[in-house]
């Protein structure tokens, strides 16, 4: 029996269709539902084994990327989300979905506490689209993500507000304690060594100036994971451009669906 995965859509969401494709290829059963349908009860969060918040520009990213949808999640769906977290259901936010989870306080969490991590304007000051190489951090405490821990994923970024910023060094240290889920790697065209090399903050391998090359994080319990790049845009062989070798995003979605099963 395939696993029902909810893909919420707010006005301005736009990578929901690819996310649904990735979930299907990974063996899940995606349902795209507008936030209005969730609010009216036409579609219920509780009927789904996992939630994938997709990319896009929810509400045009007015007042800061993801902020408006984050507010709706907090004001309209706080109980349902708490229940899902309680039940250990995996939740994945990609790009705008990651921004929403961070702005809602779900990442790194806990929701309701003071927010110490944010996603803000890229250091280069502009929207940018390019392929990057990600390492799935083996030290990440997320159980479901651990299945693909240590692997690399090649996929595109497409964002203007993807720079992970933290309030202070203590917060950065807290993230390094198992909450960092993905890091940008240096992706020279002809790697001279087999060992993946961290981007070291250098543009464009770290495309947005994120602290410690962080591309994605998880919450304390490890169920909720978010990242800026788009693994859902590399789930088929022909989607990968020439250039550096790098893994497909599909195993990540397979791990996500498997954990929801």
Partner 1 sequence: MTVRIDVTAPDDPRGSSVVANAPLVGVAGLTACRVTRVHHVDGDLTDAELDRLCHEVLIDPVVDEAVIDGVTPARGRVVEVALMPGATDPDARELERAAVNLGLPDIRVVTARRYDLIGDLSDTDVATLTRRLLANDTIEISTEGELPAEFAGTAAADVRVDPVPLADLGDDDLLRLSKDRVLSLDLTEMQTIQGHFATEGRPPTDAELETLAQTWSEHCVHKTFRARINLTHTSSTGEVTVSFHDGLLPALREVTEELDPPWLRSAFVDDAGIVAFDDDVDIAFKVETHNHPSALEPFGGANTGVGGVVRDVIGVSARPIACTDVLCFGPADLPDHELPTGVLHPRRIRDGVVAGIGDYGNKLGLPTVNGAVLYDRGYVGNPLVYCGALGILPHGSHPTEPQVGDRIISLGGRVGRDGIHGATFSSAGMDASTVDHVGSAVQIGDPITEKGLIEVIERARDAQLYNAITDCGAGGFSSSVGEMGEDLGVDVDLSVVPLKYPGLQPWEIWISEAQERIVIAVPPANLDALQALCDAWDVEVTDLGRFTGDERLVVRHGATGVVDMPMSFLHDGIPRREMTAAWTDPAPTDVTAPVPTAEHVLQLLAHPNVASKEDIIRRYDHEVRGGTVVRPYVGPEADGPADAAVLKPLGTDGHKAVVLSNGICPSVGRHDPHAMALLAMDEAVRNLVAVGGDPDQVAVLDNFCWGDPTKSDRLGSLVRAVQGCTDGARTYRMPFISGKDSLFNEFDGEAIPGTLLISALGLVPDLRRAIDSAGMQPGDDLWLVGTHEGALGGSLASDVFGLGATQVPAPLDDPLPRYRAIHAAIRDGKITAAHDCSEGGVAVAVAEMAVAARLGVSVVVPVDGLDPFTALVNEAPGRLVLSAAREHRDLVEAFLGGFGRRLGEVTAGDDIVFRVPDNTDGDGIESLSLELIRIPLADAVAANTKGVVQ
- Contact assessment for residue 102 and residue 110, using Cβ atoms and an 8 Å cutoff: no
Which residue among 50, 72, 101, 256 contacts partner 1 (CB under 8 A)?
Answer: 72
Helix (H, G, I), strand (E, B) or coil at 122: coil
Kindly tell me which of 89 and 230 has the beta carbon lying closer to partner 1.
230
Which residue among 158, 186, 197, 198 contacts partner 1 (CB under 8 A)?
Answer: 158
Distance CA 1, CA 49 (A): 12
Asked if 152 interacts with partner 1 (CB under 8 A), we say no
Cβ-proximal residues to 215 (8 Å cutoff; 6+ apart), any chain: 132, 134, 164, 181, 182, 183, 184, 227, 228, 229
Asked if 17 interacts with partner 1 (CB under 8 A), we say yes
Asked if 162 interacts with partner 1 (CB under 8 A), we say no
Q: Smallest distance, Å, CB 96 to partner 1? A: 10
Kindly write out the interface string for residues 75-94 of this chain, putting x where it contacts partner 1 by CB under 8 A and - elsewhere. xx------------------
Point out the residues that are catalytic.
95, 230, 232
- Which tokens hold the place of 170? 């203590």
**Strands 214-218 and 180-185, sheet pairing:** antiparallel
Cβ-proximal residues to 133 (8 Å cutoff; 6+ apart), any chain: 152, 153, 154, 184, 185, 186, 187, 196, 205, 244, 246
Kindly write out the interface string for residues 23-62 of this chain, putting x where it contacts partner 1 by CB under 8 A and - elsewhere. -----------x-xx----x------------xxx-xxxx
Q: Binding residues for partner 1, per CB under 8 A?
A: 11-15, 17-18, 21, 34, 36-37, 42, 55-57, 59-64, 67-68, 71-72, 74-76, 114-118, 120-131, 156, 158, 165-167, 189-190, 230, 232-233, 235-236, 238-239, 241-244
């Amino acid at each position: 029996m395939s696993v029902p995965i909810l893909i919420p859509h707010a006005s301005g969401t736009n990578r929901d269709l690819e996310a649904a494709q990735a979930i299907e290829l990974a063996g899940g059963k995606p349902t795209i539902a507008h936030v209005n349908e969730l609010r009216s009860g036409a579609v219920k969060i509780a009927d789904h084994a996992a939630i994938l918040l997709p990319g896009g520009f929810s509400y045009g990213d007015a007042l800061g990327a993801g902020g408006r949808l984050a507010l709706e999640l907090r004001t309209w769906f706080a109980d349902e989300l708490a229940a899902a977290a309680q039940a250990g259901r995996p939740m994945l936010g990609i790009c705008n979905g990651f921004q929403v989870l961070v702005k809602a306080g779900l990442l790194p969490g806990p929701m309701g506490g003071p927010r110490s991590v944010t996603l803000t304007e890229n250091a280069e000051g502009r929207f940018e689209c390019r392929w990057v190489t990600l390492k799935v951090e083996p030290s990440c405490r997320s159980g479901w993500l651990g299945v693909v821990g240590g692997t690399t994923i090649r996929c595109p970024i497409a964002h203007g507000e993807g720079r992970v910023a933290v309030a202070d060094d203590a917060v950065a240290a807290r993230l390094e304690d198992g909450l960092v889920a993905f890091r940008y790697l240096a992706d020279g065209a002809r790697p001279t060594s087999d060992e993946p090399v961290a981007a070291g903050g250098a543009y464009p391998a770290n495309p947005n100036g994120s602290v410690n090359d962080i591309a994605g994080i998880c919450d304390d319990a490890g169920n909720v994971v978010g990242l800026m790049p788009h693994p859902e845009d590399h789930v088929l062989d022909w989607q990968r451009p020439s250039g550096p070798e790098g893994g497909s995003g599909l195993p990540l979605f397979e791990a996500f669906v498997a954990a929801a099963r």
